[in-house]
Structure 1
Amino acid sequence: MSDPVKTMKQEVGRAAAARVKSDSIVGLGSGSTAAYAIEYIGDRLAKGEIKNVVGVPTSFQSEVLAKQFNIPLVTLDAIDHIDVAIDGADEVDPDKNLIKGGGAAHTREKVVDSLAKEFIVVVDEGKLVDKLGSTFLLPVEVIPMAVAPVMRSLAKLGGKPELRMGVKKAGPVVTDQGNLVIDVKFDHIKNPAEMEKEINNLPGVLENGIFVGVADIIMVGKIVDGKPEIVEF
């Protein structure tokens, strides 16, 4: 029997991949739903539905998947624009602000997603929130020497910071850039734009997972009567 949640993620990924046109540069996001989008972009290229598409990966995970599905890759220094980026999110509020970084790739994701002319966010309905920070911890990427002072500063901003530890690995999670991640619990983030700037101004912080004013289209997968449905806003 097929898993409805998996089917829903596949359908959202497929719908986003259907937006990719020939002769375009595509930001390839991270996470389970974005992984399906990468698979379907590769599928469309293999069938000849689209041609001359190159990808910019946001993480080692998306780079590996793109190679697996034969999507040619380019680096940011070889291009001057990105046509469309497809990426997941951990939380989405009604103003299309996001929290990302559950997979510790938010720094590269923010660079790529912000450059895209159109940024499509692919999520399931469980990721929709009224206010950012209500269900998900805010990831903050920090250089290793600055962990202690940054944690103190985040506590002063009203957060409860914790160093993210590895699963099936001794010690902390290390990002693709060789940095560490502090996950911060806020009761809710009243002003995401201000908070994004304030945290990024802390010395030693590389980037945090608040994305304000970056997303253009949110594609939401829902399960209605056991069948997947996609709504957009």
Structure 2
Amino acid sequence: MPADLNPIDKAKFIAAKRAVGFVQDGMKLGLGTGSTAAWMVRCLAERIREEGLRVVGVPTSTRTAELAVSLGVPLSTLDEVKWLDLTIDGADEFDPSLNLIKGGGAALLQEKIVATASDQMIVITDAAKEVVQLGAFPLPVEVIPFGWQTTKALVEETLVSMDVLGRDVTLRMTGDRPLVTDESNYILDLHLNRIGNPRQLALVLNQIPGVVENGLFIDICDIVIIGHADGRAVVRDINTRTVEEDRVEFAPSDNIFTDLD
């Protein structure tokens, strides 16, 4: 175990390892995107190597696909498998109803498609992502490049009638160029501070021409697993209304740490 692994990464690893414990032989899995999801892919690969676990994964981004291939996780496409047993992914925020903001990694469109096409979605996270009300994290909205400034203006106009505290909208950049998603779209980040009615906002945003999808995941997540650096994993199940806490052994093999960013 690297000596410089920080508490946040330890917490992410704990959540990821606990989530991979839900995976059963023969499952078709949605593989999320982001730093916490990367831990999940590594833990899944370890189970495949050590236990002979037979699964097939559908990645939600190019970078997740590349990581999975490098670690020997079998992949397919959503068109090929049609439906998934389980999706495991991270989140930028989650509230008490397990509604989410996702898209900090600019993969929200594929993430939402994959999660919606799953029997169950598990979100893996650390305690810092838990909020009383969504909105502190900027809400990503994926838009087509054509007429994006007009789309931005329409989004800003729409926000005037929404229950939000802020209305600043920015185009996400990478260097001096607009960030381009895997689907060749742009991302608008909505700096709202607080979202009073996430369900309403999600529905209204998707009615705006030029908007492809937004980063509000409403009634999609079933379980949130919150990892802690001391080895605790808190499992919240929205369907059973239960909260369970157990401990996860923090003893990852050297293979898990190979080529970490």
Residue correspondence of structure 1 range 9-24 to structure 2 within 5 A: 9-24=12-27
Encode CA deviations 1:147-167: one digit per residue, 9 max, x unaligned: 11221122121321100011x
Aligned to 1:173: 179
2:83 counterpart (81, 84, 96): 81
2:109 counterpart (101, 107, 110): 107
Q: 1:174: how far off?
A: 0.5
Aligned to 1:162: 170
Residue correspondence of structure 1 range 57-76 to structure 2 within 5 A: 57-76=59-78
Aligned to 1:144: 145
Aligned to 1:25: 28
Say whether residues 1:183 and 2:186 are aligned partners.
no
Query: What amino acid is the match of 2:90?
Result: G
Distance 1:222 1:129 in 2: 16
Query: What amino acid is the match of 1:98?
Result: L
1:116 is paired with a residue whose SS is: coil
Is the 8 Å Cα contact of residues 4 and 228 (structure 1) preserved in structure 2?
no
Query: What amino acid is the match of 2:58?
Result: V
Distance 1:121 1:49 in 2: 25
Distance 1:8 1:130 in 2: 20
Is the 8 Å Cα contact of residues 96 and 218 (structure 1) preserved in structure 2?
yes
Say whether residues 1:126 and 2:128 are aligned partners.
yes
2:178 is paired with a residue whose SS is: coil
Gaps of 5+ in 1: none
Residue correspondence of structure 1 range 187-202 to structure 2 within 5 A: 187-202=193-208
Query: What amino acid is the match of 2:169?
Result: P
Distance 1:20 1:208 in 2: 28
Q: 1:80: how far off?
A: 2.4
Distance 1:139 1:176 in 2: 15
Distance 2:48 2:99 in 1: 31
1:214 counterpart (212, 220, 227): 220
Q: 1:81: how far off?
A: 1.3
Is the 8 Å Cα contact of residues 114 and 214 (structure 1) preserved in structure 2?
yes
Query: What amino acid is the match of 1:16?
Result: A
Q: 1:145: how far off?
A: 1.3
Distance 1:97 1:8 in 2: 21
Q: 1:100: how far off?
A: 0.2
Is the 8 Å Cα contact of residues 106 and 181 (structure 2) preserved in structure 1?
yes
Gaps of 5+ in 2: 161-166, 237-261
Q: 1:49: how far off?
A: 4.6
Q: 1:111: how far off?
A: 0.2
- Is the deviation greater in 25-34 or in 142-151? 142-151
1:174 is paired with a residue whose SS is: coil
Is the 8 Å Cα contact of residues 108 and 214 (structure 2) preserved in structure 1?
yes
Q: 1:187: how far off?
A: 3.0
TM-score, length-scaled by structure 2: 0.84
Q: 1:122: how far off?
A: 0.4
Distance 1:8 1:140 in 2: 28
Distance 1:130 1:49 in 2: 41
Distance 1:88 1:132 in 2: 15
Is the 8 Å Cα contact of residues 141 and 205 (structure 1) preserved in structure 2?
yes
Distance 1:213 1:130 in 2: 16
